[in-house]
Structure 1
Amino acid sequence: MSALAPTTNPGDAGSVLARLAALKTTPTPELKAQWRTLFGSEPPPFNRRYLESRLAYRIQELALGGLKPETRARLVALGEELDGGKPHVRKRRLDADRPITGTRLIREWQGVEHACTVTPDGYEYAGRPYKSLSAVARAITGTRWNGWTFFGLKNPGARP
């Protein structure tokens, strides 16, 4: 039987539990080897905890058969409903959360004053358009910043 073939023998429950328990003490290189066997691809460069949880799910999925086709179809439908059918849609801040168009945001950075203007489509800094405040903050500092934090704006997601 292939390592990727599901089993239906209820007697395998003990071996599944043993494999799950062993994940906690398995060295990381061996976890990565298990990933290659169970998923047929290179493991992602994520932390050990992520590898353990995904391997645990995959071991159970192979032993018990995974999600029913109806459940998979329902999850796909819900995902499309949430993101408009686009798999990698990034939610933008609501217009109500953005500063009013024309607002100038000023920040002093390393002794230099920097001004950014809110435009209808995003932001303008040093005569160039930017889609996000984070992109402006990166242009100023050369490192990744949360633009709202960089310019001292409150987080609209945090409610009193």
Structure 2
Amino acid sequence: MSAGEDEVAALGAMSNADLKREWERVQQAPAPPIAPSLLARDLAHRVQLAAAGGMDRGLEQRLRKLVASHADVPGTGGRAAAPSSLAGGTQLLREWGGRTHRVIAEPDGSFLYAGERWRSLSAIARAITGTRWSGPRFFGTGG
């Protein structure tokens, strides 16, 4: 095995707490509140990228421009907001827990579910399941 392969294999043997500490060491920032398996994937990607000689310069410049273009957008925390691609009136159906759940997309980008207006599909998915979901993934619209 190469050094990079050894490093990736070592990540698989780390405890959740060790993965979090390693991610914080590498990033020099607090770990985000995500599953340790995702932290491991990010660390493994970085090891593989380094072994391959780094990111393509053109791609890196495009990514930096994209991040910079959203850095001053209020409410995004520097992240690009994903626009809803659902036309107003679109109905989404999802069966969960033996029940069919119906959501209607509104023209303003909000959603109607259970007689209430919601700002995101993820909030609705969380209300239905009791756990964090990507709303677009839960409803099969992308994500």
User: With structure 1 as the length reference, what TM-score do the two structures score?
Assistant: 0.47
Specify whether residues 132 and 18 from structure 1 end up closer, same or farther in structure 2 by C-alpha distance, changes over 3 A only: same
For the pair 1:50 / 2:42, whether they are aligned, the reply is: no
1:137·1:145 contact (CA, 8 Å) conserved in 2? Answer: no
Find the counterpart in structure 2 of residue 69 from structure 1: 57
Q: Which amino acid aligns with 2:35?
A: N
Q: Report the alpha carbon displacement of residue 96 of structure 1 after superposing the two structures with TM.
A: 6.0
- Higher RCO (CA-CA < 8 Å; seq separation 6+): 1
For structure 1, the 5+ residue unaligned runs are: 1-12, 81-85, 99-117, 123-130, 150-154
For the pair 1:89 / 2:68, whether they are aligned, the reply is: no
Counting aligned pairs with the same residue, the percent is: 24
**Of 116, 120, 124, the match for 1:137:** 116
**Of 9, 14, 19, the match for 1:31:** 19
Q: How many residues align?
A: 102
2:111·2:117 contact (CA, 8 Å) conserved in 1? Answer: no
Distance 1:88 1:145 in 2: 21
Find the counterpart in structure 2 of residue 101 from structure 1: none
Please tell me the root mean square deviation across aligned C-alpha atoms, in Å.
3.9
Q: Which amino acid aligns with 2:45?
A: Y
2:4·2:48 contact (CA, 8 Å) conserved in 1? Answer: yes
Specify whether residues 136 and 23 from structure 1 end up closer, same or farther in structure 2 by C-alpha distance, changes over 3 A only: same
Distance 1:120 1:32 in 2: 41
User: With structure 2 as the length reference, what TM-score do the two structures score?
Assistant: 0.51
5 Å matches for 1:116-155? 121=108, 131-134=110-113, 137=116, 144-145=123-124
2:88·2:106 contact (CA, 8 Å) conserved in 1? Answer: no
For structure 2, the 5+ residue unaligned runs are: 68-72, 74-78, 92-104, 129-138
Secondary structure in structure 1 of the residue aligned to 2:58: helix
Distance 1:95 1:138 in 2: 13
Distance 2:27 2:55 in 1: 16
